[in-house]
Copies of this chain bind each other. A is one copy, B any other.
């Protein structure tokens, strides 16, 4: 079968990812063999390609995917012929508050979704909701889970909450935006791209602001007053400014910090207003199931940026490297 492999680092190849013909795996007890139909890229995949991830070793990449069960190991027979989404968590553990020490994400170190076939334990499977196409289903797992935990478990977003999603054009941020809107929150967004902002407004944003405007923070204050919750993945100097936009017992939840470490956070304002800064990553297995149910219930359609044939997957990585467009980069094995 064809699989996108991360190679050993030995300086003999200029690119560490390569499509290779490898042996199709066999499902063991409690495992299923999935014929992958679709998969999707995350920044994580490109970071691994660039060597910017801890514990890198050869593996088939890919955390997101959707496929059809074509063979089952002992005790997994009930999944035969089902169309499934794969939970990318491995070993989250029993504590809802955080992942265990053995936690890892599907697709390095264990073999992932960028392959024609994949074997996983049946406890990683969730039936694909009928409301989603195969492409939409593949777009969901990693980014959807991260957004779901940020928005609800940590963010406490509910009907009527005033929410700020910064950099709302990004993969996780789009889901956070869609989830918060579906929950009945009043959602304001920032992006550096006016076209993305217009799209988000059409999708239900209560207010849009281009963060390249020097007075972006004042614009948000004028539009919203103050926020109950902000969701961010940029960090940097804007982080401290967003904290100033939070009302009493406001929260900023973040799952990334692409602009680096923030300087001079105003602790005085924070303690007087009982403000919280909350780090978040991925989500529990329980949340994964809840997230898929939420998407089905609210008929949420993941935003697809492009669909690339699996044979051309490296070009999708290059697109990711060049800067994200609007919507998930999906690859199709069909």
> Contact residues of A with B, CB < 8 Å?
95, 97-99, 154, 235, 239, 248-249, 254-257, 261-268, 270-281
A226 CB to nearest chain B CB (Å) = 11
Interface of A is mostly: loop
Cβ of A255: which chain B residues have Cβ within 8 Å of it?
271
**For the complex formed by this chain, how many copies does it contain in all?**
2
Q: How far is the CA of A21 from the CA of B162 in the complex (A)?
A: 51
Task: Specify the chain B residue showing the minimal Cβ separation from A95.
Answer: B249
Known contacts A239-B267, A263-B263, A264-B263; is-contact A249 B281 (Cβ 8 Å): no
Tell me if B274 and A276 are in contact (CB < 8 A). no
Report the minimal beta-carbon distance from A272 to chain B, rounded to whole angstroms.
Answer: 6
Q: Could you say which of B98, B257, B267, B275 contacts A257, with CB atoms under 8 Å apart? A: B267
Per the bound structure, the CA–CA distance linking A265 and B235 in Å amounts to 10
Contact B267 A98 (CB under 8 A): no
Chain B residue nearest to A260 (CB atoms) is B267
The 10 closest A-B pairs by CB, nearest first: A270-B279, A271-B279, A257-B267, A98-B248, A97-B249, A98-B249, A277-B277, A261-B264, A98-B274, A235-B267
